[in-house]
Amino acid sequence: MSSPSSEIFRRGVQIQKRTLIAWSAALVLLALSVVGAWPSMEKSGALEDFASGVSPEMAAAFGIDQISSASGYLKGNLYAVLLPLLLGLMAVTATAALTGGDEEAGRLELLLALPVARRTVFLVRFLCVAFGLAVTSALVWLSVYGSVVSLDMDVSGGGVTAVTLTVGLLAVLHAGIAYAVVGFGLGRGPALGAAAGVLVVGYLLHAIAPMSDTLEPLSNVSPWEWALGSDPLVNGVPWGGVALLVGLAAVVVAVGTYAVDRRDVKNA
Protein backbone atom coordinates (compact mmCIF):
# COMPACT_ATOMS: atom_id res chain seq x y z
CA MET A 1 0.00 0.00 0.00
CA SER A 2 1.42 3.37 -0.98
CA SER A 3 2.09 6.06 1.61
CA PRO A 4 0.06 9.31 1.65
CA SER A 5 3.12 11.26 0.44
CA SER A 6 3.70 8.98 -2.54
CA GLU A 7 0.01 9.17 -3.41
CA ILE A 8 0.13 12.97 -3.29
CA PHE A 9 3.19 12.92 -5.54
CA ARG A 10 1.57 10.53 -8.00
CA ARG A 11 -1.58 12.62 -8.12
CA GLY A 12 0.41 15.83 -8.57
CA VAL A 13 2.34 14.39 -11.50
CA GLN A 14 -0.90 13.12 -13.03
CA ILE A 15 -2.53 16.55 -12.73
CA GLN A 16 0.27 18.30 -14.61
CA LYS A 17 0.76 15.49 -17.17
CA ARG A 18 -0.94 17.21 -20.10
CA THR A 19 0.73 20.53 -19.41
CA LEU A 20 4.08 18.80 -18.98
CA ILE A 21 3.70 16.99 -22.30
CA ALA A 22 2.79 20.26 -24.05
CA TRP A 23 5.73 22.19 -22.58
CA SER A 24 8.17 19.35 -23.24
CA ALA A 25 7.03 18.96 -26.84
CA ALA A 26 7.27 22.69 -27.47
CA LEU A 27 10.76 23.02 -25.99
CA VAL A 28 12.04 19.91 -27.76
CA LEU A 29 10.71 21.23 -31.08
CA LEU A 30 12.35 24.57 -30.38
CA ALA A 31 15.68 22.88 -29.66
CA LEU A 32 15.47 20.66 -32.74
CA SER A 33 14.57 23.58 -35.01
CA VAL A 34 17.43 25.71 -33.70
CA VAL A 35 20.06 22.98 -34.04
CA GLY A 36 18.64 21.75 -37.34
CA ALA A 37 19.05 25.19 -38.92
CA TRP A 38 22.80 25.25 -38.18
CA PRO A 39 24.12 23.61 -41.41
CA SER A 40 22.28 25.99 -43.73
CA MET A 41 23.12 29.03 -41.60
CA GLU A 42 26.79 28.07 -41.48
CA LYS A 43 27.04 27.60 -45.24
CA SER A 44 25.20 30.80 -46.11
CA GLY A 45 27.47 33.03 -44.02
CA ALA A 46 24.40 34.88 -42.77
CA LEU A 47 25.51 34.54 -39.15
CA GLU A 48 28.67 36.55 -39.70
CA ASP A 49 26.69 39.29 -41.44
CA PHE A 50 24.14 39.31 -38.64
CA ALA A 51 26.77 39.61 -35.91
CA SER A 52 28.64 42.37 -37.73
CA GLY A 53 25.56 44.59 -37.69
CA VAL A 54 25.26 44.63 -33.89
CA SER A 55 27.41 46.56 -31.43
CA PRO A 56 29.72 44.38 -29.26
CA GLU A 57 27.87 45.42 -26.10
CA MET A 58 24.45 44.49 -27.48
CA ALA A 59 25.80 41.28 -28.96
CA ALA A 60 27.14 40.23 -25.56
CA ALA A 61 23.84 41.20 -23.88
CA PHE A 62 21.85 38.88 -26.14
CA GLY A 63 24.46 36.12 -26.25
CA ILE A 64 25.23 36.49 -29.94
CA ASP A 65 28.79 37.80 -29.66
CA GLN A 66 30.20 34.51 -31.04
CA ILE A 67 27.21 33.41 -33.05
CA SER A 68 29.25 32.34 -36.09
CA SER A 69 30.73 29.41 -34.12
CA ALA A 70 28.70 26.27 -33.38
CA SER A 71 28.72 26.81 -29.60
CA GLY A 72 28.04 30.54 -30.02
CA TYR A 73 25.14 29.76 -32.32
CA LEU A 74 23.55 27.45 -29.75
CA LYS A 75 24.18 29.94 -26.99
CA GLY A 76 22.69 32.90 -28.85
CA ASN A 77 19.67 31.12 -30.30
CA LEU A 78 18.75 28.78 -27.46
CA TYR A 79 20.60 28.96 -24.15
CA ALA A 80 21.22 32.68 -23.63
CA VAL A 81 17.58 33.80 -23.47
CA LEU A 82 14.88 31.57 -24.97
CA LEU A 83 15.30 28.28 -23.11
CA PRO A 84 15.96 29.79 -19.65
CA LEU A 85 13.03 32.17 -20.04
CA LEU A 86 10.57 29.54 -21.28
CA LEU A 87 11.66 26.89 -18.78
CA GLY A 88 11.42 29.49 -16.00
CA LEU A 89 7.89 30.43 -17.04
CA MET A 90 6.97 26.75 -17.14
CA ALA A 91 8.28 26.34 -13.59
CA VAL A 92 6.51 29.42 -12.25
CA THR A 93 3.12 28.67 -13.79
CA ALA A 94 3.18 25.00 -12.76
CA THR A 95 4.14 25.82 -9.16
CA ALA A 96 1.52 28.54 -8.81
CA ALA A 97 -1.16 26.26 -10.25
CA LEU A 98 -0.36 23.16 -8.18
CA THR A 99 -0.10 25.08 -4.92
CA GLY A 100 -1.86 28.45 -4.90
CA GLY A 101 -4.30 27.62 -7.68
CA ASP A 102 -5.48 24.37 -6.13
CA GLU A 103 -5.69 25.97 -2.69
CA GLU A 104 -7.87 28.83 -3.92
CA ALA A 105 -10.11 26.39 -5.82
CA GLY A 106 -10.52 24.18 -2.74
CA ARG A 107 -8.92 21.18 -4.43
CA LEU A 108 -6.36 20.73 -1.66
CA GLU A 109 -8.97 20.13 1.07
CA LEU A 110 -9.17 16.38 0.43
CA LEU A 111 -5.39 16.04 0.48
CA LEU A 112 -5.16 18.04 3.70
CA ALA A 113 -7.61 15.62 5.29
CA LEU A 114 -5.09 12.78 4.84
CA PRO A 115 -2.89 11.74 7.78
CA VAL A 116 0.01 13.86 6.55
CA ALA A 117 1.31 17.25 7.64
CA ARG A 118 0.16 20.31 5.71
CA ARG A 119 3.77 21.28 4.97
CA THR A 120 4.30 17.85 3.41
CA VAL A 121 1.36 18.32 1.04
CA PHE A 122 2.75 21.61 -0.25
CA LEU A 123 6.35 20.40 -0.34
CA VAL A 124 5.43 17.28 -2.32
CA ARG A 125 3.54 19.46 -4.77
CA PHE A 126 6.74 21.48 -5.28
CA LEU A 127 8.67 18.25 -5.82
CA CYS A 128 6.16 17.34 -8.54
CA VAL A 129 7.10 20.54 -10.36
CA ALA A 130 10.82 19.85 -9.88
CA PHE A 131 10.29 16.36 -11.30
CA GLY A 132 8.54 17.79 -14.34
CA LEU A 133 11.38 20.26 -14.89
CA ALA A 134 13.90 17.43 -14.68
CA VAL A 135 11.98 15.40 -17.28
CA THR A 136 11.67 18.35 -19.66
CA SER A 137 15.34 19.32 -19.23
CA ALA A 138 16.42 15.74 -19.91
CA LEU A 139 14.35 15.61 -23.12
CA VAL A 140 15.80 18.92 -24.31
CA TRP A 141 19.31 17.71 -23.48
CA LEU A 142 18.73 14.49 -25.40
CA SER A 143 17.40 16.41 -28.40
CA VAL A 144 20.29 18.88 -28.50
CA TYR A 145 22.99 16.31 -27.82
CA GLY A 146 21.65 13.87 -30.39
CA SER A 147 21.38 16.62 -33.00
CA VAL A 148 24.87 17.96 -32.24
CA VAL A 149 26.35 14.49 -32.69
CA SER A 150 24.40 13.73 -35.88
CA LEU A 151 25.36 17.07 -37.45
CA ASP A 152 28.99 16.78 -36.28
CA MET A 153 28.89 20.21 -34.67
CA ASP A 154 31.92 21.48 -32.81
CA VAL A 155 30.15 21.42 -29.44
CA SER A 156 31.14 19.20 -26.54
CA GLY A 157 28.64 16.84 -24.93
CA GLY A 158 29.88 17.96 -21.55
CA GLY A 159 29.08 21.56 -22.42
CA VAL A 160 25.52 20.67 -23.46
CA THR A 161 25.10 18.78 -20.19
CA ALA A 162 26.53 21.66 -18.14
CA VAL A 163 24.34 24.37 -19.64
CA THR A 164 21.23 22.18 -19.45
CA LEU A 165 21.94 21.59 -15.76
CA THR A 166 22.36 25.28 -14.95
CA VAL A 167 19.31 26.34 -16.94
CA GLY A 168 17.25 23.64 -15.20
CA LEU A 169 18.42 24.78 -11.76
CA LEU A 170 17.62 28.37 -12.68
CA ALA A 171 14.03 27.27 -13.38
CA VAL A 172 13.85 25.35 -10.09
CA LEU A 173 14.94 28.47 -8.21
CA HIS A 174 12.13 30.54 -9.70
CA ALA A 175 9.66 27.73 -8.97
CA GLY A 176 10.87 28.00 -5.37
CA ILE A 177 10.18 31.74 -5.35
CA ALA A 178 6.60 31.15 -6.51
CA TYR A 179 6.25 28.43 -3.87
CA ALA A 180 7.47 30.78 -1.12
CA VAL A 181 4.96 33.47 -2.12
CA VAL A 182 2.14 30.91 -1.98
CA GLY A 183 3.51 29.73 1.36
CA PHE A 184 2.78 33.14 2.84
CA GLY A 185 -0.80 32.89 1.58
CA LEU A 186 -0.60 35.52 -1.17
CA GLY A 187 -2.19 33.26 -3.77
CA ARG A 188 -1.63 32.20 -7.34
CA GLY A 189 -1.66 35.65 -8.99
CA PRO A 190 0.93 37.27 -6.73
CA ALA A 191 3.08 34.14 -6.94
CA LEU A 192 3.05 34.31 -10.74
CA GLY A 193 3.77 38.02 -10.75
CA ALA A 194 6.55 37.93 -8.18
CA ALA A 195 8.40 34.93 -9.60
CA ALA A 196 8.05 36.07 -13.23
CA GLY A 197 9.18 39.54 -12.19
CA VAL A 198 12.29 38.14 -10.52
CA LEU A 199 12.96 36.07 -13.64
CA VAL A 200 12.81 39.12 -15.93
CA VAL A 201 14.73 41.45 -13.61
CA GLY A 202 17.39 38.79 -13.16
CA TYR A 203 17.83 38.60 -16.93
CA LEU A 204 18.07 42.38 -17.24
CA LEU A 205 20.74 42.54 -14.55
CA HIS A 206 22.66 39.73 -16.24
CA ALA A 207 22.39 41.17 -19.76
CA ILE A 208 22.14 44.95 -19.42
CA ALA A 209 24.02 45.82 -16.24
CA PRO A 210 27.46 44.90 -17.70
CA MET A 211 27.00 47.67 -20.28
CA SER A 212 27.45 50.27 -17.54
CA ASP A 213 30.48 50.55 -15.28
CA THR A 214 28.18 51.79 -12.51
CA LEU A 215 25.65 48.98 -12.81
CA GLU A 216 28.03 46.16 -13.67
CA PRO A 217 28.46 44.93 -10.04
CA LEU A 218 24.69 44.35 -9.88
CA SER A 219 25.00 41.55 -12.41
CA ASN A 220 26.65 39.43 -9.72
CA VAL A 221 23.38 39.22 -7.77
CA SER A 222 21.46 37.83 -10.75
CA PRO A 223 20.70 34.09 -10.76
CA TRP A 224 21.07 34.27 -14.54
CA GLU A 225 24.68 35.32 -14.02
CA TRP A 226 25.28 32.39 -11.64
CA ALA A 227 23.84 29.99 -14.21
CA LEU A 228 25.17 31.39 -17.48
CA GLY A 229 27.79 34.04 -16.73
CA SER A 230 30.76 31.71 -17.16
CA ASP A 231 29.41 30.27 -20.46
CA PRO A 232 28.91 26.65 -19.29
CA LEU A 233 28.34 25.48 -22.87
CA VAL A 234 32.03 26.14 -23.50
CA ASN A 235 33.62 26.07 -20.06
CA GLY A 236 31.66 23.33 -18.28
CA VAL A 237 29.73 23.32 -15.02
CA PRO A 238 30.16 26.51 -12.95
CA TRP A 239 30.19 24.81 -9.58
CA GLY A 240 30.10 28.06 -7.66
CA GLY A 241 27.02 29.17 -9.56
CA VAL A 242 25.39 25.76 -9.10
CA ALA A 243 25.99 26.00 -5.34
CA LEU A 244 24.35 29.46 -5.25
CA LEU A 245 21.34 28.30 -7.27
CA VAL A 246 20.80 25.18 -5.16
CA GLY A 247 21.44 27.01 -1.89
CA LEU A 248 19.04 29.86 -2.61
CA ALA A 249 16.38 27.47 -3.92
CA ALA A 250 16.66 25.44 -0.71
CA VAL A 251 16.31 28.61 1.38
CA VAL A 252 13.20 29.95 -0.36
CA VAL A 253 11.52 26.53 -0.33
CA ALA A 254 12.32 26.14 3.37
CA VAL A 255 10.89 29.60 4.10
CA GLY A 256 7.73 28.84 2.11
CA THR A 257 7.29 25.49 3.87
CA TYR A 258 7.72 27.11 7.28
CA ALA A 259 5.18 29.82 6.40
CA VAL A 260 2.48 27.52 5.05
CA ASP A 261 2.53 25.47 8.25
CA ARG A 262 1.71 28.56 10.29
CA ARG A 263 -1.25 30.05 8.47
CA ASP A 264 -4.82 29.15 7.65
CA VAL A 265 -5.45 27.36 4.38
CA LYS A 266 -7.91 29.12 2.05
CA ASN A 267 -11.22 27.51 1.18
CA ALA A 268 -12.98 27.70 -2.17
DSSP string across 206-238: HHTGGGSTTTGGGGGG-HHHHHHTT-HHHH---
| Confidence (pLDDT) at 1 | 44
Where do runs of H (alpha helix) occur along the chain? Answer: 4-15, 17-36, 38-44, 46-52, 56-61, 70-74, 82-96, 102-105, 109-112, 118-150, 157-183, 188-207, 223-228, 232-235, 239-260
State the Cα–Cα distance between residues 32 and 22, nearest whole angstrom.
Answer: 15
| Confidence (pLDDT) at 250 | 97
In angstroms, the first-to-last Cα distance of the chain is: 31
**Which DSSP category does 100 fall into?**
I
Note the pTM of the prediction, 2 decimals.
Answer: 0.91
CA torsion sign, 190 to 26 to 228 to 236?
positive
Do 231 and 238 contact (CB within 8 A), yes or no? no
Measured between alpha carbons, how far is residue 130 from residues 93, 95, 114, 239 in Å?
A: 12, 9, 23, 20
Task: Tell me the percentage of the chain whose pLDDT exceeds 90.
Answer: 57
Report whether pLDDT(264) > 80: no
- 81-137 pLDDT, tens digit per residue, is 999 999 999 999 999 998 888 777 777 777 766 777 888 888 999 999 999 999 999
State the Cα–Cα distance between residues 178 and 194, nearest whole angstrom.
Answer: 7
CB-neighbour burial class of residue 213 (10 A; exposed 0-12, middle 13-18, buried 19+): exposed
| Confidence (pLDDT) at 49 | 57
